Amino acid sequence: MVLSKAVSESDASLHSTFASRYVRTCLPRFKMPDNSIPKEAAYQIINDELMLDGNPRLNLASFVTTWMEPECDKLIMSSINKNYVDMDEYPVTTELQNRCVNMIAHLFNAPLGETETAVGVGTVGSSEAIMLAGLAFKRRWQNKMREQGKPFDKPNIVTGANVQVCWEKFARYFEVELKEVKLRDDYYVMDPEKAVEMVDENTICVAAILGSTLNGEFEDVKRLNDLLVEKNAETGWDTPIHVDAASGGFIAPFIYPELEWDFRLPLVKSINVSGHKYGLVYAGIGWVIWRNKEDLPDELIFHINYLGADQPTFTLNFSKGSSQIIAQYYQLIRLGFEGYKSIMENCQENAMVLKEGLEKTGRFNIISKDNGVPLVAFSLKDHSEHTEFEISDMLRRFGWIVPAYTMPPDAQHVTVLRVVVREDFSRTLADRLVVDISKVLHELDTLPARLSAKKTVSEENGMSVAAVDAEHEVTRKITDAWRKFVLDKKKTQGVC
């Protein structure tokens, strides 16, 4: 005999969220609701809203990894509830971090003995890594100046104007003067000669970028090192170098092994790298490695024992997840040197395919270099009717997120589009992007030229050509001012 049960209206609503009252009621956005809702409804409401986000795989603005193997995803989820700072409770996780630090240090040619361990730490990204490295430089400089009986209240750091916003944050947060080498046409990275000219007795370090965010170009760290060696010998100073290898640190060792940029150069004292970029891990992991123990002052390291044992710590935050550290170790042992090399070569080849496709349109100048981070930065040859910002906006209709931006001083008159080629950006997608860019160009070409049309109408209405030109100049200035406001706003919200 089959027993049946009448289903009440309230029970039935739980079987289909879209048949329930929860999709007919607006939830409060900025205040906690008074009552609970079913887990299915909460999930569906949030999931539906998240559909309005862009597709991470098509986000070509970001250097950050957007795909990992399912096996690594499993490891991440199995360790998502582990707090890394509990080293005594999770000793294996701590051991995995130490292994990663040593693997990366060897990759960067740190001068380690057979039994010597590397000095470094995992961070939440290159921003924290740069803050820690900068603090070490500042403290070493302060200690030296104090010993010599000299003022130590006006430290400065020399960088190019192309540095990521985290360097500006470091300078502002920790009261260090930021000396920027301005860019110029066709030279969009720091000039080593000009950088060394700006160095003085109060310079705590010179920061070189291995992979500019703007065009992917590697700065000439070896040339910088050689010039600084000469200046230090002349002045008696010992100005060091930090290499910001956030993007290029996991690229250069594999496809440019002969390039000298790392600890092979004597003045390079610390290097940061983003594991969540070409280290091939999801967002939330960076690394900073020091040349040796003397380059990290002991007074910056804290020791705690209230978690069960004496634990040294040198971080800006305290608690953080273990998942990304475990994911980095997975990638290092899973791929090995061979795997990383193959992936970086594929990225570089796909970038060249994209570059060649853009060149064939005859509409763009290529700003990026063939050697460097696998990306393509390009600008319009003709700006008389359309802009890079219009192309960027219209590409979103196809799902592509391609940023448009102006260069820093003194090249701010140059506007650029940039496509970052990551591991999951295949040749098929590269070909498809070129097709969609061609479609956008065609659509823009078929639109009435707004300024020309406006000029024609104005002349028909009796306005002089000079008056029209003056109006255009006012419009251009307003547009430039608004664009600068938007870009400055974005810069303060930058993510490394």
Whether pLDDT at 360 is above 70: yes
Q: How much is the pLDDT for 89?
A: 86
Q: How much is the pLDDT for 263?
A: 98
Confidence label for 494 from pLDDT (cuts 50, 70 and 90)? very low
pLDDT tens-place string over residues 326-338: 999 999 999 999 9
Q: What is the mean pLDDT of the chain?
A: 89
- Could you please report the per-residue DSSP string of 413-439? T-EEEEEE--TT--HHHHHHHHHHHHH
pLDDT tens-place string over residues 5-62: 444 444 444 457 777 787 788 878 899 988 899 999 899 999 999 999 999 999 999 9
pLDDT tens-place string over residues 379-392: 999 998 889 999 99
Q: What is the amino acid identity at position 426?
A: S
Rounded distance between C-alpha atoms, residue 365 and residue 367, angstroms: 6
Q: Which of 43-47, 152-156, 364-368, 489-493 has the lowest mean pLDDT?
A: 489-493
Confidence label for 309 from pLDDT (cuts 50, 70 and 90)? low
Q: What percent of the chain has pLDDT over 70?
A: 86
| Over residues 65-73, mean pLDDT | 97
| Over residues 261-282, mean pLDDT | 98
Rounded distance between C-alpha atoms, residue 282 and residue 56, angstroms: 11
- DSSP secondary-structure letter at 7? P
Confidence label for 303 from pLDDT (cuts 50, 70 and 90)? confident
Long-range contacts of 332-339 (CB under 8 A, 24+ apart): 332/99, 332/100, 332/103, 334/69, 334/72, 335/280, 337/254
pLDDT tens-place string over residues 157-208: 999 999 999 999 999 999 999 999 999 999 999 999 999 999 999 999 999 9
Q: How much is the pLDDT for 112?
A: 94
Please indicate whether residue 482 or residue 316 has the higher confidence score (pLDDT): 316
Rounded distance between C-alpha atoms, residue 379 and residue 363, angstroms: 8
Rounded distance between C-alpha atoms, residue 445 and residue 428, angstroms: 26
**Which 3 state secondary structure label does DSSP give 92?**
helix
Q: How far is CA 38 from CA 25, 229, 323, 356, in A?
A: 14, 66, 29, 53
Q: How much is the pLDDT for 457?
A: 44
**Which 3 state secondary structure label does DSSP give 281?**
coil
CA atoms within 13 A of residue 292's CA, in its CB half-sphere: 8
